[in-house]
Amino acid sequence: MDSPIQQKAIRFKHFVVKEVNFIISSSPTNLPAETIHINISVDVVFFENDVKNYTVNLIAEVESASAGFKLRVVSNSLFESEDPITPEFMDSDMARVSSPAIAFPFLRSFINTLTTNAGIPPLVLPAFNFTKPELTKPRKETP
């Protein structure tokens, strides 16, 4: 019988919004759900020179042509591993599924607050399924 893979301790360190592009061409009184198009992109990045940290980059693109609304938010979440990150961890559900799922509520809250403070109806992103394998393909880069 195979032994279960021992999961190392992972810690969420911080969330930062790197870019916001927000266009309102009219003053929408509502954002009808049927006219809103939402696209969430995920990029999990491991660093060659930093073996204990990795980032989850989330990009949310939201558009409603009928309401004259367009929003693009790029965020970055930093995670820290107790032990050096292994290739097995890079391909694990913790890296590809759980880490983006941990970061997503921060992005969701930011977008809700931004739209509320902008004086338009608040936008609440729906729950998102990060288990689709084509969404999160880990990669390495030099910081």
Q: How many CB atoms are located within 10 Å of the residue 78 CB?
A: 15
Backbone phi and psi for residue 33, each to the nearest 5 degrees, phi listed first:
-55, -35
Report pTM: 0.83
Backbone phi and psi for residue 31, each to the nearest 5 degrees, phi listed first:
-120, 85
Average pLDDT over residues 8-32: 86
Q: How far apart are CA 117 and CA 77, in angstroms?
A: 23
Average pLDDT, the chain: 86
- Which residue ranges make up each domain of the chain? 10-141
Q: How far apart are CA 80 and CA 82, in angstroms?
A: 7
- Looking at residue 142, its pLDDT comes to 47
Architecture of domain 10-141: Roll (3.10)
138 or 38: which leads in pLDDT: 38
First to last CA, the chain: 40
Note the pLDDT tens digit of each residue in 53-111.
999 999 999 998 877 889 999 999 999 999 999 999 998 888 999 999 999 999 999 99
**42 contacts 135 by C-beta, under 8 angstroms:** yes
- Looking at residue 21, its pLDDT comes to 97
- Looking at residue 43, its pLDDT comes to 93
Structure tokens at 137: 């393909």
Average pLDDT over residues 103-130: 92
Element at 9 (helix H, strand E): none
Element at 26 (helix H, strand E): none
